Amino acid sequence: LLTAGGAGMGLYLLAKTVWLGGSISTSLLYVALCLFLSGLQLLAIGIVGEYLGKIMVESKQRPLYLLNRHYRAPLSHPILSLTRKEAMP
């Protein structure tokens, strides 16, 4: 939001200068620049935080889910393995 606000304010000041021919107030320019750069900085910190969070979760090597119970169905027929010798007639 800060980046969009700063960019919007900068575009407004640019449009005002181009179409109306007025001069840009330096204080408004500084505010727009400060908003834009603050937004970029917060965005970069958020990206680094997401990356570090994923690294932390991966470093714990925990399973994605845990099973409370494990059910096995009875085998009605034995499981056959298919080898190369059995595959060719």
pLDDT 10s digits, 17-72: 888 887 878 888 888 889 889 989 999 999 999 999 999 988 888 877 777 777 77
The predicted structure's pLDDT at residue 45 = 96
Q: What is the per-residue pLDDT for 77?
A: 60
**Number of residues written out for the chain:** 89
Q: Which tokens belong to 20?
A: 């109306």
pLDDT at position 18, please?
Answer: 84
**pTM: predicted TM-score of the whole model, two decimal places:** 0.57
Domain ranges of the chain: 2-60
| pLDDT of 85 above 80 | no
Rounded Cα distance, 89 and 12, in Å = 79
Euclidean distance between CA atoms 13 and 33, whole angstroms: 11
Q: Residue holding tokens 């400060």? A: 34
Q: Do the Cβ atoms of 6 and 33 come closer than 8 Å?
A: yes
